[in-house]
Amino acid sequence: MVSPLVLDGGLSSLLELERGPLHPTLWSAALLVASTGGQGKEAGERAGKDGHNNDDDDDDDDDDDGTSHVFSDTNHRAVIDAHRAFLEAGADILTTVSYQGTVAGFKRDMGLSEEEASHAIALSVTLARTAIHEHQQAQQQQQQQQHIERDKHSSSSSQAPRTLSSSWASSRHLLLHPPPHGTQQHPQEQQHEQQHEQQQEQQPRPLVAASIGPYGAFLADGSEYRGGYDAERLAQFHHEKALILWRARPDVLAFETIPQASEALAIVGMMQETLPEAPYWLSFQCCDAHRLASGDDVTAAVASLVTAFDEQRAGSLIGIGVNCISPAIAAPLVTAIARCVGRRRLHVLCYPNKGEAWDADTRTWGPIPTADVGDGDGVGGFGNGGDGGDVGDGGDGGDGDTAGPCALTSRAWVRRIKAAGCTVVGGCCRVFPADLAQMVRCVKGDIEGGNRRDKAGVHG
């Protein structure tokens, strides 16, 4: 069975930890506006030019995706550095800092024009691409130096190490072309997959998922954790932002923290009608193991999406999942989604919070509930008995404000999620690079210390 792809962690949480409280309504998206008051218009224009991200454009030079730009503004630099921290932790996929950003929100809260707001949103993809470019340059230099050192100590020829780029090519193909879910591939299928991978981009790289929050994120009143808002304008709301981001050329669009079934169906209809070629996933926010934040039944909501997929009314949907949930309810939710997905070529995604309780009214994090810490059955990931006590080395989440138990760093939790059918796993709020690094060791079966991911942590 192929190991799950690893999504990054709590990008906004890391930025908040390093820089202090974020904007009250735009959250980390406010950092897309330069600290000097500019909007990074030129870079945004380059990233947001007309044209979609397709295989015919994959051989464009670095300048086309903004990776040749040098960002010195402190806001933009902070976003790039945070992305790099998750890359160093081993993330296969980066999510952009655009979750809370909308044209209307930037106009309302920062006084931007519509054009400036659009450029700011598009810039989020450019910043992620820049982080990838810088990270790969550093890794390639490190590999070259290691190869030189090996040559000094050996007169015999040795096989060159596998390049990072070939690894990312495999990841890109796996994300955009999910295998039949829950099945072993036939040898002929495996051969076809390998041949297809060889035809991927000349210079593949880690993947960029352009983050699109729900309508409730624009309202900035915690509605994404409750649902229940007027859905009349949902399709138009999501269309505007999806079009801006897709023109910025990410690998995939990520509709996240969706609280109700009606919003998910509105997104599916919009994507089928206006962006049928754009790969995307949908991820729900849930209040418990059976219900979405709105109270809608999880199984019924997922089944409606699967029906749209079967009837070819879902555009280029590549996955369904859950995020911003308690780790304690992740496994049953993944199981429910995987059962609905069956053998279809759809990913099952899961990227929970660290486990602390979020109060949408006070916008603060409380302590991890006792039930989430584990009662010995492994549900919480760090109980004192059974699999729940099986915590990976170094899985305490780092130092300072990041310290404390994190279910996502438990080998038992990762095994449970993989067994349930998860094919893309990561973290959401308060999951820091050190947490993700330990998750990567669990996911990839790399429990040994001393590799590059051990060095990843919270900077600053």
Flag whether 406 is marked binding. no
Flag whether 324 is marked binding. yes
CA distance 8 to 436: 7
Sign of the C-alpha dihedral, residues 93, 94, 100, 104? Answer: negative
Residue numbers belonging to the annotated binding site: 324, 428-429
- Residues belonging to the binding site for Zn(2+) are 324, 428-429
